[in-house]
Amino acid sequence: MKNFFLIFLLLASLSTQAQYQAEEFLTAKLKARYGVMVVYNGHTNSFTFRIEADSVKNTEDPNFLWVDGKLFQATIIPFLQNPKAPDAAEQKRLLEAYRKYEQAYIEKELNAGPLKGKAEYLNINNKPMLLWTLTMPKDNPSISKQFYIFAICFDQMLTFNAPLEKGKDEADIKKMIVRCAETVEIFPGQLQDLNKLYYEVK
Q: Which of 118, 127, 124, 121 is nearest to 170 (CA)?
A: 118
Peptide bond into 188 cis (omega under 30): no
Whole-model pTM: value is 0.88
Q: Is the pLDDT confidence value at 57 over 60? A: yes
pLDDT at 143: 94
**Three-state DSSP state, 154:** coil
Q: Sign of the C-alpha dihedral, residues 26, 146, 13, 183?
A: negative
What is d(CA 133, CA 164) in angstroms, rounded to the nearest whole number? 10
Higher pLDDT, 51 or 14: 51
Identity of the residue numbered 173? I
Q: Quote the CA–CA distance of 7 and 73 in Å, as a whole number.
A: 13
pLDDT in tens, 172-195: 999 999 999 999 999 999 999 999
CA distances from 162 to 22, 98, 112, 134 (A): 27, 18, 20, 11
Range in 3-7, 23-27, 65-69, 178-182 with the lowest mean pLDDT: 3-7
CA dihedral 117, 160, 65, 42 (to 10 degrees): 160
Kind plus residue range of the DSSP H or E element containing 90: helix 88-110
Total of domains in the chain? 1
- Residue 80's pLDDT is what? 78
Per the prediction, the chain carries an average pLDDT of: 89
Provide the domain limits for residue 120: 2-201
Instruction: Provide the pLDDT confidence category of residue 21 given band limits of 50, 70 and 90.
Output: confident
Long-range contacts of 58-62 (CB under 8 A, 24+ apart): 59/5, 60/1, 60/2, 60/5, 61/5, 61/9
194: phi then psi, degrees, rounded to nearest 5? -65, -35
What pLDDT shows up at residue 19?
A: 56
Q: pLDDT per residue over 81-107, tens digit each?
A: 776 778 999 999 999 999 999 999 999
Q: What is the pLDDT of residue 13?
A: 41
How high is the pLDDT of residue 136? Answer: 94
